[in-house]
Amino acid sequence: MTLNKIELYKINRIFIICDKENEKDKYDKWTRWLKDNNFDESYYEFFSYKWGTNLTDEDLKEHSIDDGTLVKLFPFRAKFPLKKSEISLGINFMKILQKGLKEGYSNILVFESDAILHPNFIEKFNSYMKEVYESYTLWHILSIGCGMNKHVKNIKKKKNIYMGSEMRCNDSLVFNLRAMKVITENISKLKLPIDEHFDLLVKNHKIIILWAEPTIVIQGSQCGQNPTTIRSHDSVYVSECEWLKDVKYK
């Protein structure tokens, strides 16, 4: 008996930013989750176009702190130039969005390697995406994770999708075709961490972001589950996700 392969609602392709050689434990975790949930290998892609240690001199020259235009908006960046890991992550995001746009995907789901998924992720994600399509006609990005521990304050009964005012994490994002087009048209060189570039587009009203609540993904590096090579915030918060203790794939 052949089981039906799983697909997520309205998602054309899943991308996981994960380097098989340098992140073997995370790669193995994701492989188990995908296999155990019967995803077809043609439906997802492990993506690692660049890794921090294989950036070229040209990469570093092209993607670095800029002439001050963006630093005026983020003053602390003058003291903290981009790390190699931040540059490689940003390049990987942009290459994924360029590929999604080229392929004409309506929606793609992008995970960072340290994303930890709700035990009942598939059912909840499909429910959230159905609400997006039932309730919103214009949007660009859906944030389903809580890596920054930012949440909607006033949650309503039987409502899980809300308008967001800023980026809150890159660990788990749905990009639609409009988002891929706007982002690739507006970002060419990385002068900030990629989440701050995205945030500028949101705050300049070029991108509409939706927040899912309760969130169904948490970033392992931000809740103390995984080490990170990306600059983290001074205080790593203790996750308030009640489901974290029940997660099998960490």
Distance CA 84, CA 171 (A): 18
Residue 25, in any domain of the structure: yes
CATH number of the domain residue 91 falls in: 3.90.550
Residues facing residue 111 across a β-bridge: 16, 172
Residue 7, in any domain of the structure: no
Residue 54, in any domain of the structure: no
Distance CA 105, CA 138 (A): 17
Residue 125, in any domain of the structure: yes
- Per the structure, the count of domains in the chain is 1
- Contacting residues for 133 by C-beta, under 8 A, at least 6 apart: 10
Would you state the pLDDT for residue 238? 47
- 217-219/115-117 β-pairing: antiparallel
Residue 136, in any domain of the structure: yes
- Give one DSSP letter per residue of 80-149, joined into a string: SPPPHHHHHHHHHHHHHHHHHHHHT-SEEEEEETTEEE-TTHHHHHHHHHHHHHHH-SS-SEEE-B-TT-
Would you state the pLDDT for residue 170? 92
Would you state the pLDDT for residue 227? 53
- Contacting residues for 103 by C-beta, under 8 A, at least 6 apart: 12, 13
User: Residue 46: which H helix or E strand, with range?
Assistant: strand 44-47
Residue 2, in any domain of the structure: no
- pLDDT tens, residue order, the chain (250 aa): 345 788 999 999 999 999 999 999 999 999 999 999 999 999 999 999 999 889 998 888 888 755 566 667 667 666 677 889 999 999 999 999 999 999 999 999 999 999 999 999 999 999 999 999 999 999 999 999 976 778 898 889 999 999 999 998 899 999 999 999 999 999 988 888 899 899 999 999 999 999 999 999 998 866 555 555 555 444 444 445 677 777 776 6
Would you state the pLDDT for residue 71? 66
Residue 115: which domain range?
A: 13-49+59-246
Residue 5, in any domain of the structure: no
Mark 151-181 as b/e (b = at least 16 C-beta within 10 Å): ebeeeeeeebbbebeebbbbbbbbbbbbbbe
Which residue type occupies 7?
E
**Residue linked to tokens 């994924």:** 96
Would you state the pLDDT for residue 61? 81
Would you state the pLDDT for residue 222? 62
User: Residue 197: which H helix or E strand, with range?
Assistant: helix 194-203
- 141-143/172-176 β-pairing: antiparallel
CA distances from 155 to 48, 50, 55, 146, 152 (A): 37, 39, 43, 15, 6
